[in-house]
Amino acid sequence: MSYELTIEPLGQTIEVEEGQTILDASLRAGIWLPHACCHGLCATCKVQVLDGEVDHGEASSFALMDFERTEGKTLACCARLESDVTIEAEIEEEPDAESIPVKDFPGTVKRIEQLTPTIKGIFVELDEAIHFQAGQYINLDIPGLGISRAFSLANVPSTGREIELNVRIVPGGTGTGYLHEKLAEGDRVKLSGPYGRFFVRKSANVPLLFMAGGSGLSSPRSMILDLLAEGSTLPITLVYGQRSRAELYYHDEFLALAETHPNFTYVPALSDEPADSAWQGFRGYVHEAAKAHFDNDFRGRKAYLCGPPMMIDACISTLMQGRLFENDIYTEKFFSAADAQQVRSPLFKRV
């Protein structure tokens, strides 16, 4: 059993299976609708139902209030069709966005590397190569647990069937706990993707600033390696924050890239390194390192921020103080279940 969904103002009509959400059906048809938490909590995916009946599913009463339901609004990430439906969504034109339908990808874990004491590199050979834009992420089904978790693709899009995930263990975390403690080489896994609008706006042709924290290096690494591989001559700066030298991974790779590419600058920052260690680099947080490096003037760039929500919020404040504003800042917040329950700032849209 399926219904037809027409998406305005695109005027496109797609099939939606019984039980499938509007968002899932749209992404799998290659139509991007705004979304973030995917669990009915943040309201990013709110759309107007112009015609037909929907079941609002598990939409929270905060994200979709009673009067909005009466007005015909629904959350695309939760809503399932009960008839043929027409919706109206706010879809922004993105000249650099590729329209890549989301698909399921089975694969085999090829190797697992301990990148730092808390981050594992998980390399999966997919049965079929995934096409994605550097910076995007996948949802990995956690074997046997009936849950999936989001992880950014850390490899460049041109690595064929092998993908790399950098997974930081969350204390008490169900999914990352399994991946760190139980997942083994040779295991079969399944993921879906690609997701997200975190990719380089290449057509802007302006200097790029990447700010990353923890395992939030994954997307920027893919984006930077991709830019350098295609011969970009734009100034590219990576400000990367970790707690300690032991947690600083791919450090030698970025040092070597900075040696061989005059347009690439690498600024590592450690926030909790022992005072008596041999570390010669910046001591402090990512936003502090960026502020010092650019002398508090970020004008004329595009900034790409990836990592924990608190780090991103601190970076946004710093960038704004240094006169870089919303239209030039793109973020990928590594939301967790707890973060998703916080109300998003109306000031900021997430990509």
Ligand X SMILES: Cc1cc2nc3c(=O)[nH]c(=O)nc-3n(C[C@H](O)[C@H](O)[C@H](O)COP(=O)(O)OP(=O)(O)OC[C@H]3O[C@@H](n4cnc5c(N)ncnc54)[C@H](O)[C@@H]3O)c2cc1C
- How many binding residues for ligand X (CB under 6 A)? 25
Question: In the complex, which residues of this chain contact ligand FES (CB under 6 A)?
Answer: 35-38, 40-45, 63, 75, 77
Reading phi first (left if > 0) and then psi (alpha if -120 to 50, else beta), residue 240 is in: beta
Say whether residue 227 binds ligand X (CB under 6 A): no
Cis check for the bond before 9: say yes or no (omega within 30 of 0). Answer: yes
Phi, psi of 157 (to 5 degrees): -60, -15
Say whether residue 247 binds ligand X (CB under 6 A): no
Say whether residue 41 binds ligand X (CB under 6 A): no
Binding positions for ligand X, 153-212, rule CB under 6 A: 166-168, 170, 172-177, 196
Distance CA 200, CA 202 (A): 5
Binding positions for ligand X, 303-322, rule CB under 6 A: 308
Minimum CB distance to ligand X smaller for 285 or for 335: 335
Minimum CB distance to ligand FES smaller for 94 or for 187: 94
Given 44, 133, 152, 192, the residue binding ligand X (CB under 6 A): 152
14, containing H or E segment: strand 12-17
Minimum CB distance to ligand FES smaller for 77 or for 140: 77
CB 271 within 8 A of CB 249: no
Reading phi first (left if > 0) and then psi (alpha if -120 to 50, else beta), residue 58 is in: alpha
Residue sitting closest to ligand X (CB): 173
Question: Which residues, 6+ apart, have CB-to-CB distance to 10 below 8 Å?
Answer: 31, 91
User: Which of 89, 94, 101, 95 has the alpha carbon at shortest distance from 11?
Assistant: 89
Say whether residue 151 binds ligand X (CB under 6 A): yes
Q: Which does 174 bind (CB under 5 to 8 A by kind): ligand X, ligand FES, none?
A: ligand X
Minimum CB distance to ligand FES smaller for 41 or for 303: 41
Strand ranges for 115-184 from DSSP E: 119-126, 137-142, 147-152, 162-168
Given 335, 344, 350, 351, the residue binding ligand X (CB under 6 A): 335
Minimum CB distance to ligand X, residue 178 (Å): 8
- Reduced to 3 states, what is the DSSP secondary structure of residue 164? strand
Minimum CB distance to ligand X, residue 226 (Å): 16
Q: Which does 149 bind (CB under 5 to 8 A by kind): ligand FES, ligand X, none?
A: ligand X
Minimum CB distance to ligand X smaller for 173 or for 284: 173
Distance CA 164, CA 151 (A): 10
Minimum CB distance to ligand FES smaller for 237 or for 331: 331
How many CB atoms within 10 Å of residue 241?
29
Residues in touch with ligand X (CB under 6 A): 137, 149-152, 166-168, 170, 172-177, 196, 215, 218, 308, 332, 334-338
